[in-house]
Every structure is written in C-alpha cells, then in structure tokens.
C-alpha cells in the first residue's frame, strides 16, 4: 500500500486556510481505539468519509470484519488490527507499526473504554461493594491504556511537529453521576486532567490534545443497556433536550478536533450531552 499523503506539522497548525479546506483531513493517517462499534465507529466513519486513512484497533474480531466489509462497500480506506488495549505492549506496538507503515500519524482517538457497572444508587454499586478486580480492570482500560495511547502517539507527533490527540471522556468525568460506577467516574475524570497535562507538554510541537465528554448516547457500552426504555428513562430525565444521543452526533465534533479546524483548541474537554452539564 502506498503511504498516505504527507501532512507537515506546519500545515496542521497553520491558521491560513480557506473555508473550503478548514475540515480537510484527506490523506491523514488516523487511529481509533475501540473503533469497531459505537462512538469509535462513528469517529472512524466521519474521518474515512473525508478521505482519511483509518486504522481501527479493537478486541472484537467479528465486528472488525463487519467494519471492513462496510467500509469496503463504501469505497473508504480502512485497516484493522485486533488487540486488547489493556495489553499495553501490543497497543503501543500497533501505534508504532502504523507510524512506520504509513510514514506518520496525524490523529489518534483514544476512545476504547468499558463500563464499571452500576452506580451508588444500587446496593451492588455502593462504594463498600466495589470489587478490586473490577476497579483494576476499568482503570487499566479507561486510564492506563489511554495514557499509553497518548504516550506512543506523542513520540511520532513530536518528531513530525504536528498532530491531533483526542480522548473520549464522559460527562461523568465532569460532574457526579449517580447512574455509573465508581471506577468509571474516577477514570473519566482522570483523563480530563491527563488531556490538560499532555496538551501543555505537546503544544510547542504543534500537537493539540483534547477530550470529548459524551452524555447518554445509544452505544453498546454496558451491554447496550440504554436501549432498554426503562433503563434509559432516568438518563433522559437529566437531558434538557429530553432524548438520548445517537452515535452519529459525535461526528461533527470528532472531525473538528481531528482536523486543522482545531488549530487553536488544546487542553480542553468538550461536552456533547444534550445540555446535561448545563443543569
């Protein structure tokens, strides 16, 4: 496969572009973790639809196969690799291999994450009943793997003096959220500050680091429990727009943060939550 079109760090950070190319990611190399479904798949779709070369990293082989067939039918550029982001050497190895294969990495979406089970409004989710093994597994995927993704991507983006790193947090990382588990809120809050910290270091290299904080969106996280109307009802009650979000509604924000349009945005986490954090 021929290398993707090179995009210099100067081009990525320049504010001198016309309205016609402000969101241009054509030829960019984009990596999405947890990209075989839900928000990750929507991110991959919008980047590929705008002519980026996308690499999906996910643990679910069957869904990766479905993604390849779907993208191929739409004539979109997609590569996939099966791995568990909790396997840090494998995760970082895949990122380094992508940089070598394509010659650069322009945007990385650290999206992979898992639920921590019920929140403290249930007996099982109360702090005294949180199991250590559950806590550790969520931290490994939602925090340590995110750190490792940023760490590996930063090596290449520093060298090329440009790039975009986007982390999926949650509104539960911005405020208390009684419907989700302790490990989930802890990790999602932690990555918000991780974004700030990395943004400070990487700014001088033209690398922008930002977060996305989704509210209740219909994805497969927690087994897709929000697809049950009875479970969804209390979540909807906290959303001023009075509905759940659709995964496709993240596409505009993902394209913004993954493109040159975000050239003066770094170190922030943007909520996409139907007004939930406005209460």
DSSP character at residue 262: G
Buried b / exposed e over 177-190, threshold 16 CB at 10 Å, is: bebbbbbbbbbbbb
Distance between the two ends of the chain, CA-based, in angstroms? Answer: 50
Residue 144 burial (CB < 10 Å; 0-12/13-18/19+)? middle
For the chain, what is the radius of gyration of the CA atoms?
Answer: 18
184 in catalytic set: yes
- Residues forming beta bridges with residue 211, ordered by sequence position: 167, 269
3-state secondary structure 12-77: HHCCCCCHHHCCCCCCCEEEEECCCCHHHHHHHHHHHHCCCEEEEEECCHHHHHHHHHHHHHCCCC
Residue 129 burial (CB < 10 Å; 0-12/13-18/19+)? middle
**CA separation for the pair 277, 240 (Å, rounded):** 9
Residue in 102, 182, 184, 235 annotated catalytic: 184
**Of 232, 233, 198, nearest to 218 (Cα)?**
232
Q: State the DSSP H helix or E strand holding residue 165, giving kind and residue range, or none if neither.
A: strand 163-168
| Active-site residue set | 184
């Amino acid at each position: 496969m021929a290398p993707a079109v090179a995009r210099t760090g100067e081009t990525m950070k320049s504010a001198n572009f016309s309205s016609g190319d402000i969101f241009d990611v054509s030829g960019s190399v984009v990596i999405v973790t947890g990209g075989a479904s839900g928000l990750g798949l929507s991110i991959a779709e919008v980047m590929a639809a705008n002519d980026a070369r996308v690499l999906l990293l996910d643990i679910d082989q069957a869904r990766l196969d479905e993604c390849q067939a779907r993208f191929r039918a739409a004539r979109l550029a997609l590569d996939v690799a099966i791995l568990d982001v909790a396997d840090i050497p494998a995760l970082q190895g895949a990122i380094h291999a992508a940089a070598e294969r394509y010659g650069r990495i322009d945007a990385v979406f650290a999206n992979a994450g898992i639920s921590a089970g019920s929140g403290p409004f249930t007996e099982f989710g109360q702090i005294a009943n949180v199991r250590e093994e559950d806590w550790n597994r969520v931290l490994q995927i939602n925090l340590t793997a995110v750190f490792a993704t940023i760490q590996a991507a930063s090596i290449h983006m520093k060298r090329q003096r440009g790039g975009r790193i986007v982390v999926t947090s949650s509104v539960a990382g911005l405020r208390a959220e009684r419907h989700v588990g302790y490990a989930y809120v802890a990790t999602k809050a932690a990555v918000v500050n991780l974004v700030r910290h990395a943004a400070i270091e990487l700014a001088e290299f033209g690398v922008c680091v930002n977060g996305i904080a989704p509210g209740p969106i219909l994805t497969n996280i927690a087994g897709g429990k929000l697809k049950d109307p009875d479970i969804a009802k209390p979540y909807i009650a906290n959303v001023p727009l009075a509905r759940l979000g659709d995964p496709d509604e993240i596409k505009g924000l993902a394209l913004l943060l993954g493109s040159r349009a975000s050239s003066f945005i770094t170190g922030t986490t943007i909520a996409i939550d139907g007004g939930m954090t406005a209460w």
